[in-house]
Amino acid sequence: HEYGDLYIDVGTALLHQSNYLDALQLFHKVVETNEYSKESSVLLAIAKCYSHINLWEKCIETYNKVLVQEPDNVNAILNLAGVYCQLNQTEKAVEILTPSNSLSLKSFPSSQHHSSSSSPLLTSTNPNSNITIGNTSDIRISIQKAFIHHMCDQTDDFVREALPIVRDSLEFMSEQAVTRGKARVLSRKRNREFDNQTENENDSD
């Protein structure tokens, strides 16, 4: 479709303006074409529009379309879990966020409330951690799971999920501090060597 990119840009602008119905109309025109029919970014935008107008079944169906194509799409995983939170289906939300989960469209009650929140990213450096080293996607998912447990007053599950992240973050910050300290010591050493060399050259003159 020669206007596909333009439709996406305008649809995205309409989404940001909370004009969800018009945005959906443009996004659907785009996915009707073979070129964009499997474009995950467009499907994610469609799902977001559906969530804003409370069309939960279509929203879940669309997120699952993304995950069929890209099982490791973190945005789809996190947003789908957020939808289940809004529907008070916290067990399903945790299941979605759990590795080796089986993602499939299932029936659900039409209740709604609660919302998810975003969290800062951390990089795990602990080789004993359950979180993949350096994989911020895994950490985002673990943080979201911890948030859901906390929201549901599931203290034991919250601590079990959150404590490794806290430990890894503290270890990471400690390692960073040591690295910065070593860099400062090395810099001062080099400066002293340069000053000594300069003084020796001046003395020889």
Three-state secondary structure call for residue 128: coil
pLDDT for the residue numbered 38: 72
Most confident of 29-33, 115-119, 166-170: 29-33
pLDDT, tens only, 175-184: 666 777 777 7
Closest CA to 146 of 160, 133, 132: 160
Mean pLDDT, residues 70-77 taken together:
88
pLDDT digits (tens, 9 = 90+) for 55-72: 999 999 999 999 999 988
Question: Is 3 within 8 Å of 29 (Cβ atoms)?
Answer: no
pLDDT at 34 over 80: no
pLDDT of residue 1: 54
Q: According to the model, what pLDDT value does residue 124 have? A: 36
Which structure tokens are listed for 111? Answer: 């209740």
Report residue 203's pLDDT band, with 50, 70 and 90 as the boundaries: low
Q: Is the model more confident about 130 or about 48?
A: 48
Query: What DSSP assignment string belongs to 25-83?
Result: HHHHHHHTSTTTTT-HHHHHHHHHHHHHTT-HHHHHHHHHHHHHH-TT-HHHHHHHHHH
- Can you tell me whether residue 159 is helix, strand or coil? helix
Report the pLDDT averaged over residues 149-159: 74
- The pLDDT tens digits for 102-144 are 443 333 333 333 333 333 333 333 334 444 434 566 777 777 7
Q: In one letter, which amino acid is 127? A: P
